[in-house]
Chains A and B, each alone.
Chain A
């Protein structure tokens, strides 16, 4: 089992640019989560999908952030336009029950 796959692993971009992060969950898992982790705020849940449907997006910071899950094997998190304060590690996790399996994360730096 390949586990949760995220791409890119590192992204450096300039303020104002669009950033798209990608996630492939573990096959058979029906829930997908996007998190953001910073030293200041810890691990924050951004959005939760169940069976490809967004269930809770209350953690999405603002309208600049959007997430989609067009099918059971793919999800994207988009930031447009990006700002320096968006710099963080973004994790995707999938689950079939309560236990979550995290991807390796995307380290985003916005200059």
Chain B
């Protein structure tokens, strides 16, 4: 089993839709979790951290389920500009991250 797994997609949704991605991790000792966004031919950029209590930033909500070892990202009211690849990142307690392969999102008019 890979350390961090994501459905590669693509998720193809219309503008205004709600879409959710999950990311599973194999190491129960993992401590820090993040979502990064990567646009085509660009570098990854931090989207948001994922806290145990869950967190929300505008249209984006991230949640952590330690029992089932997954994190999720929910995007409400999708915009065309949300089209990108979303990378899940897990740290095992050191500053060395493990990146998932990413989930591709395409928002169409």
Residues of chain A at the chain B interface (Cβ within 8 Å): 31, 42-43, 45, 48, 50, 55-56, 91, 95, 97-105
**Min C-beta distance of A62 to chain B, whole Å:** 20
A50 to B96, CA, bound (A): 10
Secondary structure class of chain A's binding surface, majority of residues: strand
26 contacts between A and B (CB under 8 A): A31-B95, A42-B99, A42-B100, A42-B102, A43-B99, A43-B101, A43-B102, A45-B96, A45-B97, A48-B95, A48-B96, A50-B95, A56-B96, A91-B44, A98-B34, A98-B49, A98-B91, A98-B95, A98-B97, A99-B34, A99-B49, A100-B44, A101-B46, A102-B43, A102-B45, A104-B42
**Min C-beta distance of B35 to chain A, whole Å:** 11
Residues of chain B at the chain A interface (Cβ within 8 Å): 32, 34, 42-46, 49, 87, 91, 95-102
